[in-house]
Amino acid sequence: MAEVSDWAVFAKTAELKSLSAAGRDLRLSAAVVSNRIAKIERKLGVRLFNRTTRRVNLTEEGEIYYQHCVRILHEIEEIESNIGSRFDRPRGTITVTAPSGFGRKHISPFLPQFVERYPDIQVRLHLTDRLTDVIQEGTDVAVRIADLRAYSFIMKRLARNTRVVVAAPAYLEKHGEPQLPDDLLRHNCLLLRFPGSQQFQWTLDGDSGPSTLSVSGNLDSDNGEVILDWCRSGVGLALKSMWEVGEDIREGRLKVVLPDWKPSGHAIYAIYPHSRLMPTRVRTFIDYLAETYGPRPYWETGDAPPLPE
């Protein structure tokens, strides 16, 4: 059986698709990385990687072995972290990445209280709407609002992400209020567009099942806050998360349309690479956010944001 350290080398190489990159991350030479992987391959009697001069890619057998490795490494991380957290005071630096809008509204306001409570922790918060590579960029934890089933990460659900279709009262007075999903095809829909975006298709679930519509409008942007500004000004309708528009709805700047039809959406998660031991400081930070948001997030209830005890 391969040693745990060899599994870690193999998993890191699979994730980075490079012997030299894995070596730099693990502070090993590329030759040592190659020898560790060759040792596993000899024991198994199969080739785990197809190698080129620049990259390595998993074979079919390598894919199977990788899935088992990350599961076992995850379990070891959990055991060590749970035991270590009983004695280890959280300390050190955490690098966090999050979507720009969510990070400004619902992460950065809580960081002063977090570092006051844990003075030995330093947080480096990077806000971007670009989907960054957590492993390549050395991120400790990433907040994601997406379907993550295809990702091999440790995940913790931070909060639900209820979405709604909204419009300003002025827009609805001028153009009328949609009564059925198909009515959206005759309205000006403000769209979030970026490479790979599917926002031009809105899926709404009702009693009769889901309805997917290819909506359109005369304005689109790759910035969600720009779309929200347009929507508030009465230009058109927008598909938004409650964490973005909860306050606007409560204060009457926006109104939910088609309330019986619920747009599909994904929860808000914190993710962490499988192949790294989760330090106590990272677990503490993730738990802090989850406790702050709670089972029903404050942006939906209108209550003052709670702070974990």
Domain with CATH 3.40.190.290 in the chain: 166-263
Are the CB atoms for 201 and 214 separated by under 8 Å? Answer: yes
Q: Does domain 92-161+268-301 have CATH number 3.40.190.10?
A: yes
Domain made up of 4-84: CATH architecture: Orthogonal Bundle (1.10)
- Which residue carries 């091999």 as its tokens? 152
Q: Is the pLDDT of residue 200 over 90?
A: no
φ, ψ at 252 (rounded to 5°): 85, 5
Q: Is the pLDDT of residue 89 over 80?
A: no
Nearest to residue 241, comparing CAs of 136, 299, 164?
A: 164
Q: Is the pLDDT of residue 197 over 90?
A: no
Could you tell me which CATH class the domain 166-263 is placed in? alpha beta
Band of pLDDT at residue 274, cut at 50, 70 and 90: low
Q: Is the pLDDT of residue 276 over 60?
A: no
* The pLDDT value given to residue 12: 87
Q: How far is CA 36 from CA 19, 71, 245, 261, in A?
A: 11, 19, 52, 55
Domain with CATH 1.10.10.10 in the chain: 4-84
Mean pLDDT confidence for 136-157: 75
Instruction: Kindly state the tokens that stand for 43.
Output: 């024991």
Are the CB atoms for 140 and 282 separated by under 8 Å? Answer: yes
* The pLDDT value given to residue 78: 64
CA dihedral 17, 19, 24, 30 (to 10 degrees): 180
Instruction: Kindly state the tokens that stand for 237.
Output: 């309708």
Domain with CATH 3.40.190.10 in the chain: 92-161+268-301
